[in-house]
Structure 1
Amino acid sequence: MKATAVRYYRFGEPGEVLRIEKKPPLLPGPGEISVKMRARPINPSDVIPIRGAYPHRITLPAVPGYEGIGVVEAVGPGVSEQMLGRRVLPLQGDGTWQDYVTSPAKFAVPVPEDIDDDTACQLYINPVTAWLICREALRLTHGDVLVVNAAGSAIGRIFAQLSQVFGYRMIALTRSDRHASELRLLGAAYVFNAAEDSVQDRILEATAGQGATAAIDSIGGPEGERLVRCVNKAGTILSVGLLSGIPAVWHEAVRGTQVRVKPFYLRQWVRNSSQEEWAAAFQHVVRLVRENKLAMMKIGAKFELTEAISAIHAAESGIHGKVLLLS
């Protein structure tokens, strides 16, 4: 039996470097499971590494994809056969843009049957990142103000919804006004156009001249650096993405201030935390989804795995909604 896998052997534009390959699926080793994938969302964090933004983190050849939903089809030595047939999120395994993913059984997250595949395949990267940032990294609560750039993105929408859960006020920064009404409905207290020269003044006005408690940067580059002027003297900026493909020069941006800038790496958090800790984070996210307090991005289009390059074009063309790759 041959299985499809999307792979790249060098960095570059996806249309030039991605290859669709057919290879037999690997058998799971001790403590591992083999998951037949059903659906995976295309996130910026899946595509940016292909272009070479993080060459020190990627071992070539590589399979893209950090999340998705599938069914356990085989178990390795030391893994209970009760795992067979279970629908799971395979974490810390191979890239998900392939028919079969081999991953450690201890990092497989079972998904309740009442959560459909379209939602389940998005339950990891964005919602768990946002939850951990709010609850642990920043410990946001009533009275806090969080500025989020690229707020029309999937993770921006989640931060807007979590503001209703944790009680903080969110200031959403967007590049256009088309997401404004939706973000307000989701919970954002303010939506400002980041392209306007007066955005810093508007943030200061909204915070009575104090600046925000913290900020989330998903863009990097000069746009990320501008967040330093939007937080208060002891503010914190967490870098979670690089949509611009350009790293921010943070040591220059914070010079003369007391603002702290830290990266947040979800995979590193999962790797360094106990099974109980990351399982608890998922339980909180799943509970919010089942209670209709947290909704994932609506689906804009679906493509077969063999159409990965076309799917990336669709995801980056401004299509409204998340693009999925299906097996």
Structure 2
Amino acid sequence: MKAMLCRRYGPPDSLQLEDVPSLQPGPQQVVIGVAAAGVNFPDTLIIQGKYQYKPEMPFSPGGEVAGTILRVGSEVTGLQPGDRVLAPLGWGGYAEEALAEAWRVLPIPGEMDFDTASAFALTYGTSHHALKDRARLRPGETLLVLGAAGGVGLAAIEIGKAMGARVIAAASSDEKLALCAEHGADALIHYGRDDLRARIKEIVGDRGVDVVYDPVGGKLSEPALRSIAWNGRFLVVGFAAGDIPSIALNLPLLKGCAILGVFWGAFARKQPEDNAANMRELFQWFREGRVRPYICARFPLEQAAQAMELVAGRGARGKVVITVGS
């Protein structure tokens, strides 16, 4: 089978497409024939040695896949060859076959195609966990989403609306904001043109926003925190801007707010039953048309480097998908 391999740390164009042996599952693993692989920002970090996990080389990047089970391990129950599934992996997805621990694998609804499924787990799983389990977002509250036109951002908009919140989307261009509005945002902030704090005050007044969803970091985090309401919740989701901000701890004291870390991968591993329940709710919302991934671009496996460069350069809107098999 073919796989896109990282043999040394470097940029996307250092990856090599190679023929490698087919995979064999361990006792509690399955092998998935990959139809599509979602491209996520951590994929661009892991090949540079900048992510919290450092797989043994050579390895294939790619943190989520969708496809058909080919082989199952001797101790696997509830899954069998031929099942249509998705799986968050961590790495290993940019290949014709992927190895997954059985507990990670979820059957996908019949209404969901493989491209959509490959763009679903990480973004919607992260945003759902953030807003439901960490922020405990309530109907009628106000949610501010930074980096709102990215994969997790659009997911947060849709999930926030499904949970009954008023959603403010902040992004860097009119084109991105138009996409946010299409996905349900009630108010928009162009942070390349608007003063973030002044625009938030214009929308919600002096009260501030109840929840801030921040996958961006950098210079936006502090002004967003300063605009939070009393008893607000600030969600630390990621650092797509590249800079991890330093926050003065007097701000949460004065605001009476909480700063909450969001690590969906650890949540899914430590609380698999809770994660499975969350995914069932998301699949139901998908069937109802309340959530639906937006895929802005598709690339074949041999063009995985171009797909990663689009995401790394923050040029993607929604999700980018690598199409592999049928």
Q: Which amino acid aligns with 1:106?
A: W
- CA 1:218–1:33 in structure 2 vs 1: closer, same or farther (change >3 Å)? same
1:123 aligns with 120
Q: 1:238, 1:262 within 8 Å by CA — same for their partners in 2?
A: yes
| Partner Cα distance (2:181, 2:223) in 1 | 23
1:294 aligns with 291
Give runs of aligned pairs for residues 124-139 of structure 1, distance below 5 A.
124-139=121-136
| Partner Cα distance (1:319, 1:135) in 2 | 26
2:269 aligns with 271
| Partner Cα distance (1:232, 1:12) in 2 | 42
| Partner Cα distance (1:93, 1:199) in 2 | 34
Q: 1:221, 1:247 within 8 Å by CA — same for their partners in 2?
A: yes
TM-score (norm 1): 0.89
Once the two structures are superposed, what CA deviation does each residue of 1:43-84 show, in whole Å capped at 9, x if it has no partner? 223223333432x43234242111110111111112248611
TM-score (norm 2): 0.89
1:171 aligns with 168
Matched, 1:243 2:240: yes
- CA 1:253–1:220 in structure 2 vs 1: closer, same or farther (change >3 Å)? farther
Matched, 1:53 2:50: yes
Deviation at 1:216, TM superposition (A): 1.1
Q: 2:89, 2:100 within 8 Å by CA — same for their partners in 1?
A: yes
Match of 1:206 among 203, 211, 216: 203
| Farther-moved stretch of structure 1 (214-223 vs 3-12) | 3-12
Match of 1:310 among 300, 306, 309: 306
Deviation at 1:265, TM superposition (A): 1.0
Match of 1:14 among 12, 15, 18: 12
| Identity, % of aligned positions | 26
Matched, 1:150 2:129: no
Matched, 1:106 2:73: no
| Farther-moved stretch of structure 1 (183-192 vs 86-95) | 86-95
- CA 1:96–1:82 in structure 2 vs 1: closer, same or farther (change >3 Å)? closer
Once the two structures are superposed, what CA deviation does each residue of 1:77-127 show, in whole Å capped at 9, x if it has no partner? 122486111011123465211221111222210112221112111120111
Q: Which amino acid aligns with 1:15?
A: D
Match of 2:183 among 182, 186, 195: 186
- CA 1:266–1:81 in structure 2 vs 1: closer, same or farther (change >3 Å)? closer
Count of residue correspondences: 321
- Structure 2 stretches lacking a partner, 5+ long: none
| Partner Cα distance (1:81, 1:157) in 2 | 32
Deviation at 1:283, TM superposition (A): 0.9
| Partner Cα distance (2:262, 2:125) in 1 | 12
| Farther-moved stretch of structure 1 (87-96 vs 117-126) | 87-96
2:260 aligns with 262
Q: 2:139, 2:165 within 8 Å by CA — same for their partners in 1?
A: yes
| Partner Cα distance (1:237, 1:160) in 2 | 16
**SS in structure 1 opposite 2:205?**
coil
Q: 1:90, 1:101 within 8 Å by CA — same for their partners in 2?
A: no
RMSD (CA atoms): 2.3
Deviation at 1:254, TM superposition (A): 4.0
Q: 2:212, 2:234 within 8 Å by CA — same for their partners in 1?
A: yes
- CA 1:260–1:60 in structure 2 vs 1: closer, same or farther (change >3 Å)? farther
